[in-house]
A and B are shown apart, each in its own frame.
Chain A
Amino acid sequence: MGGRARKISNVRCSTFLAAVAAVLCGCAQRTIPPDTIRLRLSGSPTTLDPAFIVDVSGGRIAAKLFNGLVKLNDKGEIVPDVAETWQVSDDGRTYTFKIRSGVRFSNGREVTARDAEFSLKRLLSPTVASPRGWILDYVAGAEDFADGRTDSVAGITVLDEHTMTIKLDSPFAPFPYLLTMPNAAIVPEEEVERWGADFGSHPAGTGPFSLADREQDVRLVLDANSGYYEGVPRVKHVEYIIIPEDLTAVVEFENQNLDVLEIPAAEVSHYVRSKRWGEFVVSRTGLNTYYLGYNCQKEPFNDVRVRQAVSRAIDTRKIAEKVLEGRVEPAAGPIPPGLVEAPPLTGDHNYDPQSAIALLKEAGLEDGFRTELMLSTGREELGVCEAIQSYLNEVRIEAALVPLEWSAFKKATASGEAPVFYTSWWADYPEAENFLFPTFHSSNWGAAGNRARFASNEVDRAIERTRGILDDDLRAREYRRIEKMIVDQSPWVFLWHRKEFYIRQPRVGGFKLFPVYSADKGTEMFLTP
């Protein structure tokens, strides 16, 4: 009897263990519903109210919930969105937009020109205090309205239900690009008034998707908008999962619990070389420029010869190849590839330590000097800066590395406290002006973008003049000329442009990389059975 009982007990025990193992074995495997594409966010979006979005996560989702007057395609070109056509006056100051018929908000109401007017005025309103009001700075009367001196924006006029004009103070060719930013999205007045400050939690737009579910700091689910004006998106649901840690996200991708993943830097070479995954990797050079900046107003970097010497002392190509393993494209100037059609610069600022020593001697610094190289804390940043430090040491420049926490680093570089610093500039919109005016115009010293405190009347005037040129070819050539002027002054060491690498599961089709994250509406992605 005892033997039989033990036998039964053993069988029960084995069955239980087998059941546990079966349950466990399935736990890491695919958990995505068949009609859903699951994507990763590294952090929760702060808000989904277009007027207040400044973070990447918010911008990515807003692109799917809202539309603007115009949008960007995957080549970075301006294409129609809610405005089906637009015309620019001969003087380049007045834009006339024709609003498309039949575009509806998620509450069912049709969009009119009044909604576009409301949304743009909201961005400028002093009571709303949007952080991105600056994108309409060029609109006539914007300043008066923003300062509360007038009740309306003189430059924004609704002609009829489907026509509106926006008049600028002076010609500004990149203006349509500013309208592609998520902050210029069209929102329904009645929903904004209904939810007030909580509109960001109840976003109502015209986009290809609508917010179906949200667990703060955990996930967001978007449902396809069956009435979307460009046709129903090819995938029914998009689910965003918040996964802060890169390695965990990689494991979730490998376990097929994520459909698309921006590949963390440490994993790029693994996926690119992988026989299994290589063909599913998608990459493009991002709209960014990494640079070593100086405070151009402080000694010794107020001497152009010293700045040029530093530029020639660093072998940026070797750092790009050895430290960053080819995840970047070496830069010849501030403007990333693809933004300007005119021939790119062929820099004469290549690695040349002997020339660097000669320039330092010419500047009276033949014995070298000591300085501080500030960087934000991060493994990659440290690796790059250690390499730079070693190159500078070869020309007798002793650069002490000062790693700072991100906020402290931003403050030190904005205030001019940092003599030398390693950082980057990322595009707000894909137009070369965005890599020249904020970063090198003397009105933008500090946090506005010109952290190097570079000042040149000639460059200032050239940028101001070029922004008003409507002829694309002529403007492109001018941008290159300005870029050359800046490179000659060496306010930065132009290091590289970072490439973006994404990987998709084989079942995901139609996945494309856009020049800016907030341009991807997710309408072309689909799932194969």
Chain B
Amino acid sequence: MRAYVIKRILLAIPTLWGITLVTFLLMKSIPGDPVIGMVGERADPEVIAQMRENLGLDRPLVVQYVRYMRLLCKGELGRSHYTNRPVAASIAEKFPNTLKLAGAAVIVAVLTGLTLGMVAAVRRDTWLDRLCSLSASLGIATPVFWLALILVMVFSYALGWLPASGMGGGLPVFLILPALSLGTRSAAYLARITRSSMLEVMTQDYLRTARAKGLPGWSVTLKHAARNALIPVITLAGLDFGSYLNGSVLTETIFGWNGLGRFAMEAIMKRDYPVILGTVLVGAAAFIVVNLVVDVSYAFIDPRVGSARR
């Protein structure tokens, strides 16, 4: 297992390098000039030229890329063109917020998705199954931004129960609407996967044996069936968690959440190159780590996976 983890970590290095290269090329190929955004269009051409020189944007692309890679090798992510703040410091400030939101969204997704999926599987072909499946389809079909706005309108505006924006200095109540908004789609996918996975497991012989032994229905479902149906669920939840760690642009913007997604989006709009590269790189690294953790966790849930890798 240790060799497997080390191999995966080593493989992450060329992956991350490839990501910096692709992001850098994409970023430079889109129209727009960060200097004009910073100084305004009426600035003197000399000021624009000087600013471009100060930021190193007058150098050939290869030189700019090599400079950035040198910075990375020193463990730095550069400074924002606009605020001159170290990108690493800004990310360190915002990443915990994104992590908190991602965690809460995944909790919403797993709790809701597993419950709906298991209920649908256990009550197969009943009205309850159909209701759960319909809910899952609605969850998948609902755009995140629309759901977020509806949640704000209902729970904040109409009912006055929950705050509409901000992070409230860390009060958990401010997390409820963003987490619901972000986690709903995942919950819907998880419900579907859980249902099909459970249905497959529930036809296995060992479950029939468990029932024949006289074990109660809930015990068969939770202890024997659910555990074996968990692998695809964990894969999906892990992937979603990884992608949430890149920041959720729409949710963070609508709820005024000070996370990585909003930070990255604003940087893209302003062409703030070091921030774009920094957020993409950190997001990619987080995704890789989460995937690795998910892979390793398979071994604990299903020992056959671990032995196969060994």
Tell me the A residues contacting B by CB distance below 8 Å. Answer: 23-25, 27-29, 31, 43, 46-47, 54, 126, 129-134, 146-147, 197-198, 215-218, 241-245, 247-249, 251-252, 254-255, 257, 405-408, 410-411, 414, 428, 438, 447-449
With A216-B85, A218-B166, A447-B36 as known contacts, state yes or no: A255 contacts B258, CB within 8 Å.
Answer: no
A245 to B40, Cβ gap below 8 A? no
Closest Cβ–Cβ distance, residue B265 to chain A (whole Å): 9
Which of A46, A134, A251, A428 contacts B152 (CB under 8 A)? Answer: A251
> In the complex, are the beta carbons of A24 and B38 less than 8 A apart?
no
Report if B266 contacts A (CB, 8 A). yes
- A410 vs B254: C-alpha distance in the bound complex, in angstroms? 26
Is B255 at the interface (CB under 8 A from chain A)?
yes
Are A411 and B157 within 8 A (Cβ)?
Answer: no
List B contacts of A43 (CB < 8 A): 266
Residue in chain A with minimal CB distance to B161: A24
Q: Is the CB of B160 within 8 A of A248?
A: no
Contact of A54 among B38, B254, B263, B266 (CB under 8 A): B38
Instruction: Find out whether the CB atom of A23 lies under 8 angstroms from the CB atom of B90.
Output: no
Of all chain B residues, the one with the shortest Cβ separation from A131 is B39
Are A449 and B42 neighbours in the complex by a CB distance under 8 Å? yes
Closest 4 CB pairs of A and B: A407-B32, A131-B39, A447-B41, A408-B31
**Across the interface, which residues of B come within 8 angstroms of A449, CB to CB?**
41-42
- B31 near A411 with CB under 8 A, answer yes
Which of B43-51, B187-195, B196-204 contacts its partner? B43-51
B243 at the interface (CB under 8 A from A): no
Measured between beta carbons, the chain B residues less than 8 angstroms from A147 are 46
Which residues from chain A contact B167 at a C-beta distance below 8 Å? 218
CB of B157 within 8 A of CB of A217, answer no
Residues of B contacting A242 with CB < 8 Å? 256
Residues from chain A with a CB closer than 8 A to the CB of B254 are 244-245, 247-248
Q: Do the beta carbons of A244 and B253 come within 8 Å of each other?
A: yes
- A406 contacts across to B, CB distance below 8 A: 32, 269
B149 at the interface (CB under 8 A from A): yes
Assess whether B126 is interfacial by the CB under 8 Å rule: no
Least distance between B95 CB and chain A CB atoms (Å): 13
- What sequence of 0s and 1s flags, for each residue 229-265 of chain B, a beta carbon within 8 Å of any chain A beta carbon? 0000000000000000000000001111010001100
**Nearest CB to that of B253 among chain A residues?**
A244
B44 contact set on A, CB distance < 8 A:
133-134, 146
- A25 CB contacts on chain B under 8 angstroms: 160-161
B93 pairs with A216, CB closer than 8 A: yes
A248 touches B36 (CB 8 A): no
Q: Mark B146-165, 1 if CB is under 8 A from A, else 0.
A: 00010011011101111111
CB neighbours (8 Å) of A31 from chain B are 163
Are B43 and A131 closer than 8 Å at their CB atoms?
yes
Q: Give the residue of B39, B160, B161, B263 whose beta carbon is less than 8 angstroms from that of A217.
A: B263
- Known contacts A407-B31, A411-B32; is A129 also within 8 Å of B50 by CB? yes
Selected contact of B160 from candidates A28, A407, A411, CB within 8 Å: A28
Bound state CA distance, A261 and B152, in angstroms?
18
Query: Quick check: A27 and B163 within 8 Å, CB to CB?
Result: yes
Is A47 touching B51 in the complex (CB atoms < 8 A)?
no
In the assembled complex, B82 has its CB within 8 A of some CB on chain A: yes
Contacts of B38 in A (CB 8 A): 46, 54, 131
> Quick one: given A243-B256, A411-B32, are A252 and B164 in contact (CB under 8 Å)?
yes
Give bound CA distance, A251 to B42, whole Å.
37
Q: CB of B37 within 8 A of chain A?
A: yes
A248 touches B255 (CB 8 A): yes
Question: B83–A46 contact, CB under 8 A?
Answer: yes
| Chain A contacts for B42, CB-based, 8 A | 134, 428, 438, 447-449
**How long is the Cα–Cα vector from A24 to B177 in the complex, in angstroms?**
12
B307 at the binding interface (Cβ < 8 Å) = no
Chain A residues in 8 Å Cβ range of B152: 247-248, 251
- Please name 21 pairs of A and B residues whose Cβ atoms are closer than 8 Å in the assembled complex, sorted by A: A24-B162, A28-B157, A28-B163, A126-B50, A129-B51, A131-B38, A133-B43, A197-B84, A216-B93, A241-B166, A244-B254, A244-B256, A248-B165, A249-B165, A405-B31, A407-B33, A407-B271, A411-B31, A414-B41, A447-B36, A448-B41
Taken together as a complex, chains A and B put the C-alpha atoms of A54 and B253 apart, in Å, by 23
> Which chain B residues numbered 45 to 60 have a C-beta less than 8 Å away from chain A?
46-47, 50-51, 54
Q: Check B32–A251 contact: CB distance below 8 A.
A: no
Identify B256's interface contact among A47, A245, A254, CB under 8 A: A245
List 20 extra interface pairs beyond A245-B254, A248-B254, A407-B33, CB under 8 A. Answer: A27-B173, A28-B155, A28-B164, A54-B38, A54-B39, A126-B50, A131-B43, A147-B46, A245-B255, A245-B256, A247-B149, A251-B152, A251-B156, A251-B164, A252-B165, A405-B31, A410-B41, A414-B41, A428-B42, A447-B36
Q: Give the residues in chain B near A410, CB-CB below 8 Å.
A: 36, 41
Q: Smallest distance from the beta carbon of B196 to chain A beta carbons, Å?
A: 35
Tell me, in angstroms, the Cα distance from A46 to B165 when the chains sit together: 21
B84/A217 in contact, CB under 8 A? no
Separation in Å of the A130 CB from the closest CB of chain B? 7
Is B31 within 8 A of A134, CB to CB?
no
The complex places the Cα of A146 from the Cα of B254 at a distance, in Å, of: 44
Chain A residues closer than 8 Å to B157, beta-carbon distance:
28, 251, 254-255
Decide if B160 touches A255 in the complex (CB within 8 Å).
yes
Q: Give the distance to chain A from B36, nearest Cβ to Cβ, in Å.
A: 7
Is there contact, CB below 8 Å, between A47 and B83? yes
Q: Are A28 and B161 in contact (CB under 8 A)?
A: yes
Q: How would residues 266 to 281 of chain B score, 1 for a CB under 8 Å from any chain A CB and 0 otherwise?
A: 1001010000000000
How far, in whole Å, are A406 and B270 apart by their CA atoms in the complex?
10
> From residue B302, how far is it (CB to closest CB) to chain A in Å?
38
Q: A129-B47, A411-B31 are in contact. Are A54 and B40 (CB under 8 A)?
A: yes
Inter-chain CA distance A242–B258, complex, in Å, is 9
Q: Is the CB of A28 within 8 A of B156?
A: yes
In the complex, what distance in Å separates the CA atom of A129 from the CA atom of B35? 12
By a CB distance below 8 angstroms, the chain B residues around A414 are 41
Cα distance, A163 to B283, chains bound together (Å)? 57
Contact A27 B166 (CB under 8 A): no
Q: Is the CB of B32 within 8 A of A23?
A: no
Find chain B residues with CB under 8 A from A254 CB. 157
Contact B36 A243 (CB under 8 A): no
User: How many whole Å from A214's CB to the nearest CB in chain B?
Assistant: 12
CB distance from B148 to the nearest CB of A (A): 9
Q: Write out the residue numbers on chain B whose beta carbons fall within 8 Å of the beta carbon of A249.
A: 165
